[in-house]
């Protein structure tokens, strides 16, 4: 049995021991994945980019017509309390929002007692000077092009779970997901970028892409390090032909990709430059 690494959980306003943090078997996120979540990096005991994560969570809740049972400020207070209780300096904070218990069936009518959970987890250190590097594998699982749900971090992640498991079974670290048109969208747990000279490319959100918080930061940082950024829909061959591929995710920041489907990718100085710029922004924000 896998036991949680941190002893305390915040559940609907109360901090409880992890073993007592439970939800009903009639909860709609358990039954249908009818929920949302955020994974936030904690640096020096503080959640990073809180406003961006809150904004995505709130936009998702509005889109799903779920109610968020507290304000950004109240939830930030709860997060601080939990981080202190679990004594987290470097780690991760997960916010989980479920529509809660409803009537049997897909209709969400009448399910108006949401469940909100905060958990903390250890984070892996990732040094820009000698970063974690991943082997990527194109998955046979595809997302629907133009799926309006893709931009939100919903609790419907079975495609991503299966893609990751498929990649790991094949000896890779992470999966590359294509959409139903065969275009690159994202990795299972990260957004994807690739380089063509001094042009930085990433797929547009409507291709079926999560609106990643780190993705948006990297797009913002690109001009400052000398990169021009473009959103384009391409097949995986364009990643193989380019000048380097990397992934962005809150937990590990920037992860260079060493190979795609077993084919070695060009090494690039840009992921490191962007990673260092990202770290400077983190340092500024955490004082």
Q: Which two tokens stand for residue 223?
A: 């001009």
Q: Diameter of the chain by CA atoms? A: 55
Query: Taking CB under 8 A as the criterion, which residues in 43-72 touch its own copies?
Result: 64-65
Question: What Å distances lie between residue 149 and 7, 36, 48, 64, CA to CA?
Answer: 33, 11, 24, 9
Q: According to CB under 8 A, which one of 42, 49, 138, 154 is a site residue for its own copies?
A: 154
Region binding its own copies by CB under 8 A among candidate stretches 151-159, 191-199, 230-238, 262-270 = 151-159
Nearest residue (CB) to its own copies, 180 versus 286: 180
Region binding its own copies by CB under 8 A among candidate stretches 80-88, 139-147, 199-207, 274-282 = 139-147
Nearest residue (CB) to its own copies, 154 versus 268: 154
Q: According to CB under 8 A, which one of 88, 143, 200, 207 is a site residue for its own copies?
A: 143
Q: According to CB under 8 A, which one of 62, 113, 228, 280 is a site residue for its own copies?
A: 113
Query: Taking CB under 8 A as the criterion, which residues in 155-184 touch its own copies?
Result: 155-165, 168, 179-181
Q: According to CB under 8 A, which one of 40, 82, 117, 172 is a site residue for its own copies?
A: 117
* C-alpha dihedral sign at 124, 209, 171, 245: negative
Q: How would DSSP label each residue in 238-259? A: HHHHSS-EEEEETTTEEEEEEE
Question: What Å distances lie between residue 229 and 43, 73, 169, 226, 284, CA to CA?
Answer: 28, 33, 34, 10, 24
Give me the least distance between CB of 18 and its own copies, in Å please: 7
Q: How many CB atoms lie within 10 A of CB 169?
A: 9
Round to whole Å and give the CA distance between 190 and 168.
Answer: 15
Round to whole Å and give the CA distance between 154 and 165.
Answer: 19
Q: According to CB under 8 A, which one of 7, 70, 131, 147 is a site residue for its own copies?
A: 147
Q: According to CB under 8 A, which one of 138, 189, 202, 233 is a site residue for its own copies?
A: 189
Question: Is residue 90 at the binding interface for its own copies, with CB under 8 A as the rule?
Answer: no
**Pairing of β 115-122 and β 8-11:** antiparallel
Nearest residue (CB) to its own copies, 178 versus 221: 178
């Amino acid at each position: 049995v896998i036991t949680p690494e941190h002893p305390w959980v915040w559940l609907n306003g109360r901090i409880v021991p992890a073993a007592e943090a439970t939800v009903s078997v009639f909860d709609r996120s358990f039954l249908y994945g009818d929920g949302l979540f955020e994974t936030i990096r904690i640096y020096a005991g503080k959640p990073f980019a809180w406003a961006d994560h809150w904004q995505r969570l709130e936009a998702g809740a509005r889109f799903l017509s779920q109610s968020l049972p507290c304000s950004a400020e109240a939830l930030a207070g709860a997060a601080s309390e939990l981080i202190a209780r679990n004594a987290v300096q470097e780690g991760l904070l997960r916010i989980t929002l479920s529509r809660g218990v409803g009537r049997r069936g897909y209709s969400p009518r009448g399910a108006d007692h949401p469940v909100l959970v905060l958990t903390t987890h250890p984070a892996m250190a990732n040094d820009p000077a000698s970063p974690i590097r991943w082997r990527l594998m194109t998955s046979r699982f595809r997302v629907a092009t133009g799926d309006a749900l893709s931009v939100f971090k919903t609790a419907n992640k079975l495609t991503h779970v299966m893609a990751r498991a498929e990649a790991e079974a094949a000896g890779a670290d992470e999966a590359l997901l294509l959409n139903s048109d065969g275009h690159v969208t994202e990795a299972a747990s990260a957004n994807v970028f690739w380089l063509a000279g001094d042009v930085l490319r990433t797929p547009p959100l409507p291709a079926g892409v999560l609106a990643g918080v780190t993705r948006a930061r990297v797009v913002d940082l690109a001009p400052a390090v000398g990169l021009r950024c473009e959103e384009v829909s391409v097949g995986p061959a364009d990643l193989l032909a380019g000048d380097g591929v990397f992934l962005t995710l809150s937990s590990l920041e920037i992860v260079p990709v060493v190979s795609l489907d077993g084919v070695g990718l060009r090494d690039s100085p840009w992921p490191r430059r962007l990673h260092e710029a990202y770290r400077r922004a983190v340092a500024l924000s955490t004082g």
